[in-house]
Amino acid sequence: MAEEQEAAQKKEPVIRVRELCKAFGENEVLKNFSLDLFKGENLVVLGKSGSGKSVLIKCIIGLIRPDAGSIEVFGKDVLKMSDEERDQLRTKVGFLFQTNALYDSMTVQENLEFPLRRHGQEKTKEEMEELVTEALQSVGLEKTREQVPAELSGGQKKRIAIARMLILKPEIILYDEPTTGLDSVTGREISELMVEVQEKYRTSSIIISHDLNCVRITSDRIAVLIDGACHATGTFEELSRSDDKNINQFFDSTEP
């Protein structure tokens, strides 16, 4: 049964990246990078700092334009989309910024309402309240709605940023270093929350991380980014046992 489910899943890539190239001056960060994200999986892209991991997901969402290659999301060519089509895509693809990108002058409730207003979703006050409540309950912070970001801890800000993403009920989520700057306990809690989100909302996600605890907890599959290309893919267990020195350098510090 598991093999049948895996085979069915692999027939349904929701993101397909082929031979993606991106350079900044003479610095080539992506060199013919190819990858598939399958429906319902959490895929971690693991690589050294500055290796191009964040550039990859910013290309996927249209924040950076690659120099060459193709990107398909839900079977549609992102690079050929109009601005209107790209905005529509972003209602289905959530992006969690490493810095959270919350608006300091807005309350938590106003931060969560913003994407609904930004994408022109006509909602009554009652409908808006219901969506905000559901999103806050999903991250365990319903009582924070009247607070502003300055009153929240680092972990709470990350949870609110996730809630703001969830309010549009995205089918795909792109996480950019979700545990960076958090202590180990809070990082674990955020990683576990990401798995809960996957299970509750049936999302497909690309997770950019070099935090091995986050990788271990969240990943169904890992893609190792080395020298701008996808060097290998596999589960945490498979890659952590690899004899390839280029791969096992990432797992040398793995905790038991």
- 27: three-class secondary structure by DSSP: strand
Domain that holds residue 69: 1-92+173-256
Number of structural domains the chain divides into? 2
Considering the domain architecture, whether residues 72 and 190 belong to the same structural domain is answered as: yes
* Rounded average pLDDT over 1-9: 48
How large is the angle between the packed helices 108-118 and 154-166, nearest 10 degrees?
30
Tell me: pLDDT of 2 over 60.
Answer: no
Evaluate whether 215 touches 236 at the Cβ level (below 8 Å): yes
Considering the domain architecture, whether residues 165 and 182 belong to the same structural domain is answered as: no
Q: Is the pTM of this model over 0.85?
A: yes
Task: Identify the pLDDT of residue 10.
Answer: 52
- In this predicted model, which residue has the larger pLDDT, 41 or 122? 41
Considering the domain architecture, whether residues 219 and 108 belong to the same structural domain is answered as: no
Considering the domain architecture, whether residues 151 and 199 belong to the same structural domain is answered as: no
Considering the domain architecture, whether residues 165 and 56 belong to the same structural domain is answered as: no
Residue 98 inside a domain? The answer is no
- Give dist(CA 100, CA 162) in Å, integer: 8
Evaluate whether 29 touches 21 at the Cβ level (below 8 Å): no
Considering the domain architecture, whether residues 26 and 71 belong to the same structural domain is answered as: yes
* Rounded average pLDDT over 109-131: 86
Task: Identify the pLDDT of residue 162.
Answer: 96
Residue 97 inside a domain? The answer is no
Considering the domain architecture, whether residues 55 and 151 belong to the same structural domain is answered as: no
Task: Identify the pLDDT of residue 88.
Answer: 87
Evaluate whether 35 touches 200 at the Cβ level (below 8 Å): no
Residue type, 249: Q
Q: Residue 38: which of 131, 171, 152 has the closest Cα? A: 171
Render pLDDT for 7-49 as a digit per residue (tens, 0 to 9).
544 567 999 999 999 999 999 999 999 999 999 999 999 988 8
- Give dist(CA 39, CA 172) in Å, integer: 9
Considering the domain architecture, whether residues 179 and 80 belong to the same structural domain is answered as: yes
Q: Please, which pLDDT band fits residue 254 given cuts at 50, 70 and 90?
A: very low
Considering the domain architecture, whether residues 88 and 188 belong to the same structural domain is answered as: yes
Tell me: pLDDT of 251 over 90.
Answer: no
> What order do you get walking across the sheet with 221-226 strand by strand?
93-96, 172-176, 204-209, 42-46, 221-226, 229-234
Evaluate whether 30 touches 21 at the Cβ level (below 8 Å): yes
- Give dist(CA 77, CA 223) in Å, integer: 22
Render pLDDT for 144-154 as a digit per residue (tens, 0 to 9).
999 999 999 99
Considering the domain architecture, whether residues 110 and 10 belong to the same structural domain is answered as: no
Considering the domain architecture, whether residues 113 and 236 belong to the same structural domain is answered as: no
Residue 37 inside a domain? The answer is yes
Radius of gyration of the chain (CA): 18
Render pLDDT for 173-207 as a digit per residue (tens, 0 to 9).
999 999 999 999 999 999 999 999 999 999 999 99
Task: Identify the pLDDT of residue 6.
Answer: 54
User: Which domain-ending residue is among 169, 192, 227?
Assistant: 169
Q: Residue 34: which of 47, 17, 22 has the closest Cα? A: 17
